[in-house]
Structure 1
């Protein structure tokens, strides 16, 4: 099935059995990804759908807001439209509540499965600094090595800070640079020095090594989890 539209609850036919089929097909697809140790964006997608349903359950007005609206009168001269809500009767509202009642525990079960996989990945990742870490660590490099192999994936990272009235959030973006290798004659420190010579704009870059004790998919699993661990480590430094 691939993905589940954000307004899956109210789009199309509002029918309990049909929506069960749509949701179960989606969760079956998610399970296949988890069975392949692929975490993202599937876990975050599940959490988004779960939170959306909780919001709808706690505030029925959100159900109305999610419903598509049909044009009931149009003033083409002033380009103004009035809309007629497509939901009116209590029977349909009960159908939606039944769908939500079925969906929430199913989504929660899948989320718990994803969290178990996340914990397994995090427990098998180690993040450490390569050489001395400068005071400025908001951008630099990440070296990723899996399962004690010689291959090393090299990324450049950058930390961004987002603020609202109450809190400050840190986000991290990565850009793939190259595939490298390490062996007895080529250390992680040498890879770092080659990066310094290649990219002069970072003469003293923060560089971190991520080692995975187990083999997981790099883009869907190792990198997303490692990015979160790296943000925490940089917060400790700064």
Structure 2
């Protein structure tokens, strides 16, 4: 149970002991993932639920913009109607408030564990450009190497931009291309040149190498952390 339903707070039996059991089972599974050095998508899911509980406690409302994109507006409207009815029921609302008061510090504690793991992983990763970096760096390649091995995972990345509440945000999408074996005759620069010949639409690609001193789960941990590091790096050089 490494994810909670978006409406876990109001779905089914609204009982403090029951919801407490559901939450603790969820957090136990998240803790297991963190112990296995797996960060995503579990950290993102936890942050979403924590922020939503904070908003509910502060405003007694469910905020549509806090829900993931998979939740349609129609689904949210049904959820909001359910919650509006609950607010008018003092007995049920008392249960909800007890659940929220219990859940927020528990989730915050687990978030602190996730943050410590994230910071530890980030400390192990060194991010550097491969070859000369072009002026345009919103699209290119990301190489990932771990634990001084010869294996190199190669991704194509592209920066995306979106606006929300008068603020602009950057995110990065990646596409896995291939694995390569690095050796004396195939350096990172050689791999970059080979990519340039294969994918001619990027004749002078920005290319970055993320090297982790320790080995972690690639898709759940190293890739998402390296992506966030690369987004920050590109953002500061624009």
1:149-197 superposed Cα distances (whole Å, 9 cap, x missing partner): 0000000000112134632211100000000011222210000000001
Partner of 1:95: 95
Does structure 2 conserve the Cα–Cα contact (< 8 Å) formed by 1:27 and 1:110? yes
Structure 2: how far apart are the matches of 1:164 and 1:65?
24
Q: Which has the higher helix share?
A: 2
Q: Which runs of 5+ in 2 are unaligned?
A: 64-76
**Equivalence map 1:32-181=2 (5 Å):** 32-62=32-62, 66=79, 69=82, 85=85, 88-164=88-164, 166-181=166-181
TM-score, normalization: structure 2? 0.89
Secondary structure of residue in 2 paired with 1:132? coil
Distance 1:176 1:98, change over 3 A: same
Distance in 2 between residues matched to 1:171 and 1:210, nearest whole Å: 18
Q: In the alignment, is residue 236 of structure 1 matched against residue 228 of structure 2?
A: no
- Between Structure 1 and Structure 2, the one with more strand by share is 1
Q: Deviations over 1:77-113 (max 9, x none)?
A: xxxxxxx936643111111111111101100010000
3-state SS of paired residue (1:149): coil
Number of matched pairs:
224
CA distance in 1 between counterparts of 2:114 and 2:194 reads 38
Could you tell me which runs of 5 or more consecutive residues in structure 1 were left unpaired when the two chains were aligned.
70-83
Q: Distance in 2 between matches of 1:164 and 1:60?
A: 22
Q: Is this contact kept in 1: 2:2–2:42, CA < 8 A? A: no
Residues 23 and 68 of structure 1, relative CA distance in 2, 3 Å threshold: farther
Aligned in 2, Cα 1:232/1:61: closer, same or farther, shift over 3 Å? closer
TM-score (norm 1): 0.89
8 Å CA contact retained: 2:86, 2:92: no
State how far apart, in whole Å, the 2-side matches of 1:33 and 1:137 are: 33
